[in-house]
Structure 1
Amino acid sequence: MATILITGCDTGLGVEFARQYAADGHRVLATCLDPQAAHETRAIAGDIEVSKLDVTDHRAIEALAERLDGEPVDIVLNNAGIGRPHPPFGQTDYANWRRILETNLIGPMKLAECFVEHVAASELKQMVFVSSRMGSIALNNSGGSYGYRSSKAGLNMVVKTLAVDLAHRQICVLALHPGWAATEPGGRVPVSESVAGMRGVIHRAGRHHTGNFVTYSDQPLPW
């Protein structure tokens, strides 16, 4: 069975990713901001290890990579992310924007750098980033959400660039849109359906899919 490292397992998609992978018998390395408060994650049965990790803490990422030194990690699943609030133009909260960029963009890049050897040593060799169609420049017809949009657009560029730089190591790098998942008010896609769909995309992905940006239902999205 595969080993999957998942960030952001405190709530929502992260919890469901951990639950579904563990239920299928995989080894799950679930990371949370606060493991003691992540009751749903800690209650998951199976081969699961819950660890503390803030993806904005680069030293903590390095320490986790060092602790797992020599252990192959088949899938690094960058799920941790923040977005709200979305203040309108003229009311930008620049401190929060920096926090969003640190969490959604810079943290995932650091994770990729620290775990590239673990992934390269594995059988599946996949790095997966939960992005959003709100990071698509071509699909932005409604404006607003400057911080969140820019973080996901930047993440998409990181994914595309990693796909090029890591191709010679046979690592498949993907950006996935989970749909408007029911992790927030108004969300239309059940969390279990979103995660099952993304897992299907990951499972079907081969080396020639690297650099793709697709929805949880495997539909391509424009950059």
Structure 2
Amino acid sequence: MATVLITGCDRGLGQEFALQYASKGNHVIATCLDPDQLAGRQTFGSNVDLVRLDVTDEAAVVRLADTLEGTTIDVLVNNAGIPGPHPVLDETDMVLWRKMLEVNLIAPFVVSRAFAGHVASSEQKVIAFISSRMGSISLNNTGRSYAYRSSKAGLNMIMKSLAIDLGPRQICVIGLHPGKVVGADVAGLSAKESVERMRGVIEECGPHQTGAFYNYNGQILPW
């Protein structure tokens, strides 16, 4: 089966990605800030390796890549990120903005660069970025959320450039909007459904889809 590396498995979509890929018999490398404090860690199967990793620590990312030298990674899911808040202009927090750029923008680039060789040596050869339609300039009709929007718009540009630069190695690089995911007690898109649909997009993609920005349902989103 495939080997899948997922960042940000501490909660939410990251945990759901790990659980779903593992349930299909894949070998999952699930990174999180503190595996010892991971809620529900007992639900992960024996085919899930929980790895401590702060994606903003470049040296730690490189060490992990070196440790996994010789391991082929079919799918790399850059999921780790700060999801909000989304304040108005006068309430924008500059400290949080800088942190958001480190986590949402720079870290996925560092991870992808470190593991590009592992992905290139695999069968499936996919690098997926969990982006957001809030990073789409064309779809911005409501303003505010300067930190989050800029981090995801920048992530989309990184994804597009990587798709070009890694194209000769037959790596498919895509961006994914997970949809508006709500809790179990609220009607709407669940994390389980979101990840199921995004996994479907990942499974269908190949070199011809590289550089595309997808909604969770497979619809192409505008930049």
Q: Into which bin does the TM-score normalised by the smaller protein fall?
A: over 0.9
Matched residue, 2:154: 154
Matched residue, 1:70: 70
The 8 Å contact of residues 129 and 175 in structure 2, kept in 1 or not, is answered as yes
The 2-side partners of 1:129 and 1:41 are apart by 24
The 8 Å contact of residues 18 and 41 in structure 1, kept in 2 or not, is answered as no
TM-fit CA distance, 1:183: 5.4
Percent of pairs with identical residues: 53
2:29 aligned with 1:35:
no
2:111 aligned with 1:111:
yes
Q: 1:105 to 1:185 in 2, by over 3 A?
A: farther
Matched residue, 1:145: 145
Matched residue, 1:136: 136
TM-fit CA distance, 1:195: 0.2
Q: Gaps spanning 5+ residues in structure 1: where?
A: none
Amino acid in structure 2 at the alignment position of 1:11: R
Amino acid in structure 1 at the alignment position of 2:220: P
The 8 Å contact of residues 9 and 41 in structure 1, kept in 2 or not, is answered as no
TM-fit CA distance, 1:79: 0.4
The 8 Å contact of residues 156 and 175 in structure 1, kept in 2 or not, is answered as yes
Q: CA RMSD in A?
A: 1.5
Report the TM-score, using the length of structure 2 for normalisation.
0.96
The 2-side partners of 1:60 and 1:36 are apart by 18
Matched residue, 2:191: 191
Matched residue, 1:48: 48
Report the TM-score, using the length of structure 1 for normalisation.
0.96
The 2-side partners of 1:189 and 1:4 are apart by 24
The 1-side partners of 2:56 and 2:119 are apart by 21
Amino acid in structure 1 at the alignment position of 2:6: I
The 8 Å contact of residues 163 and 211 in structure 2, kept in 1 or not, is answered as yes
User: What are the Cα deviations for residues 128-163 of structure 1, in whole angstroms up to 9, with x where unaligned?
Assistant: 000000000000000011000000000000011111
Matched residue, 2:81: 81
More moved, 183-192 vs 193-202: 183-192
Matched residue, 1:57: 57
Amino acid in structure 2 at the alignment position of 1:104: N
Q: 1:104 to 1:49 in 2, by over 3 A?
A: same
Amino acid in structure 2 at the alignment position of 1:93: D
The 2-side partners of 1:34 and 1:187 are apart by 31
Aligned length: 223
The 2-side partners of 1:149 and 1:71 are apart by 34
The 8 Å contact of residues 42 and 50 in structure 1, kept in 2 or not, is answered as no
User: What are the Cα deviations for residues 193-214 of structure 1, in whole angstroms up to 9, with x where unaligned?
Assistant: 0000000000011110000101
TM-fit CA distance, 1:83: 2.8
The 1-side partners of 2:135 and 2:185 are apart by 20
Amino acid in structure 1 at the alignment position of 2:132: S
TM-fit CA distance, 1:124: 0.7
